[in-house]
Amino acid sequence: MNLGALVSETRNADSMDLDKLTTLDMVRLFNQEDRKVPEAVARELPAIAATVDLAAAALMAGGRLIYLGAGTSGRLGVLDAAECPPTFGVAPERVVGLIAGGPGALLKAVEGAEDSLTLAEEDLKALGLTAVDMVIGLAASGRTPYVIGGLRYARRLGCATAAISCNPDSPIAREAAVAISPVVGPEVLTGSTRMKSGTAQKLVLNMISTGSMVKLGKVYQNLMVDVKATNIKLVDRACRIVADATGAEITVAKAALAQTDYEVKPAILMILTGVDAAGAQRALERHQGYLRRALDDPD
């Protein structure tokens, strides 16, 4: 495929004089173009919802959610994966981000790594990919060989697959069971897909990871009840979550959390149902960690 023919690589008629604009007019143009991103993502909501369901099913079955990308797309996948353990209390190995060129490519480009059709297969084999896992390929252009090769390997194993690109009918879209293609149009800075395309991919990833975690019982109401209180800020957040969920005073929330090793779900159960810490843990285990179900049947 001719790279210059891609929507994401064409020139934006509204930014031809970008280098002549005043600073205010320049950032106004950036903002004007950025407004197109949520509209493009909105057109992909059915595909995003299908991907959320596939990701949740994979995780419920004991599989993993694996993001695969290069450059900005790869970094966004790694970022989303890295934020899942503190936010949702999942083990780091349950949501994984792979980037062409390995961890070093997060900080510095590894030239040529994304051009390999076999490197992603090697990376996935090193992870011990199995059919219960889900692989999501990310490439703004939709044509990155690293992502194409990884999706092909995942499909051969029988994995659920999805592809996120910012060009219509892209090669990676054809390699995946579900294609998410928010077409945001030409970038203000020609070909700089870290801009609108990167923003679109970040919005989609936010939906996929958060949506799948909601379905796994990691959320009660709109509260992150599996948050890990690993620092002062998160201890404070855990206290506020318990207080918000129960209507209790912060002092009561802190006292309950002190009995649950700062796990939020059992602390909420203790306050709302009157069970002790051990009883709260048993109720959660009986309901596979779903707090709402445990509240309906705490005994």
| Catalytic residue annotation | 83, 114
Give phi and psi for 223, each to the nearest 5: -110, 140
> Per residue in 146-158, is it b (16+ CB within 10 Å) or e — as a string?
bbbbbbbbbeeee
Distance separating the N- and C-terminal Cα atoms of the chain? 61
SS (H, E, C) 111-129: CCHHHCCCHHHHHHHHHCC
Beta-carbon contacts of 136 under 8 Å, excluding residues fewer than 6 positions away, are: 51, 55, 65, 66, 67, 68, 77, 161, 162, 163, 164, 208
CA angle, residues 141, 143, 149, in degrees to nearest 5 = 140
Locate 105 and state its tokens. 């490519």
Strand partners, 138: 69, 164
Is 278:256 a contact under the CB 8 Å cutoff?
no
CA dist list (Å): 298 to 259, 260, 276, 285, 290: 17, 16, 11, 11, 11
Q: To which residue do tokens 């928010």 refer?
A: 182
The whole-angstrom distance between residue 233's C-alpha and the CA centroid of its chain comes to 22
Strand, coil or helix: 61: coil
The whole-angstrom distance between residue 125's C-alpha and the CA centroid of its chain comes to 22
What's the number of CA atoms in the CB half-sphere (13 Å) around residue 241?
Answer: 28
